[in-house]
Amino acid sequence: FCVYLDATYLPLRRETFEREAVYIAIGIKPNGHKEVIDYCIAPSENIEVWTDMLQNMKSRGLKQVELFLSDGVVGMKTALAQTYPKAHFQRCLVHVMRNICAKVRVDDRGKIMNEFKQVHQQTNKEE
């Protein structure tokens, strides 16, 4: 069982904030079926909200998670280790690719992304 964690900002019509973060946890079963496990809305993305959300999922019965996938939000690995110490963590490849693209020239992005994808399609370290 894998869990994908991410937050996105949505525009709102409120007096206090123009945009707020929508946090979402999506469970991915071995057969590929996906379901929303939890979500919440907060003014901004921070590790305190993620920690509360992880603890809430655990208290509601999500006991065993094999793998968590998430972006590079600071503190996520620590929060996961405290809540689900046996689970593995992997940074989401889409977020990694976005970070790489932001660091290279526009003209080089296609070639670099193609090479990055080839690396991640290999079946073992040696390849």
Q: Residues 9, 48: one domain?
A: yes
Question: Do residues 109 and 76 both lie within one domain?
Answer: no
CA–CA dist 19, 116 (Å, integer)? 33
For residues 117 and 75, state if they share a domain. Answer: no
Question: On the CB side of 108, how many CA atoms lie within 13 Å of its CA?
Answer: 8
Residue-number span of the structural domain to which 107 is assigned:
93-127
Predicted confidence (pLDDT) per residue in 19-69, tens digit = 888 999 999 988 989 999 999 998 888 899 999 999 999 999 998 899 999
Cα distances (angstroms) measured from residue 89 to each of 41, 97, 117: 23, 17, 20
Q: According to the model, what pLDDT value does residue 39 have?
A: 94
For residue 117, the model assigns a pLDDT of 80
Q: Are strands 34-42 and 67-70 parallel, antiparallel or unpaired?
A: unpaired
pLDDT at 17: 63
Total of domains in the chain: 2
Same domain, 52 and 99: no
33 shares its domain with 63: yes
Same domain, 80 and 32: yes
Do residues 101 and 56 share a domain?
Answer: no
Residues 13, 68: one domain?
yes
Residues 77 and 117 in one domain: no
With a cut of 80, say whether residue 6 has pLDDT above it: yes
Q: Same structural domain for residues 82 and 31?
A: yes
Q: Cα–chain-centroid distance for residue 114? A: 22
CATH number of residue 37's parent domain: 3.30.420.10
Whether 57 and 102 share a structural domain: no
**CB-based contact 38:56 (threshold 8 Å):** yes
Give residue-wise pLDDT tens across range 84-110: 999 999 887 776 777 777 888 888 888
Residue linked to tokens 């994908």: 4
CA distance linking residue 105 with residue 112, whole number of Å: 10
pLDDT score for 103 = 84
Do 7 and 27 have their domain in common? yes
Alpha-carbon gap, residue 101 to 110, rounded angstroms: 9
> What is the pTM (predicted TM-score) of this model?
0.75
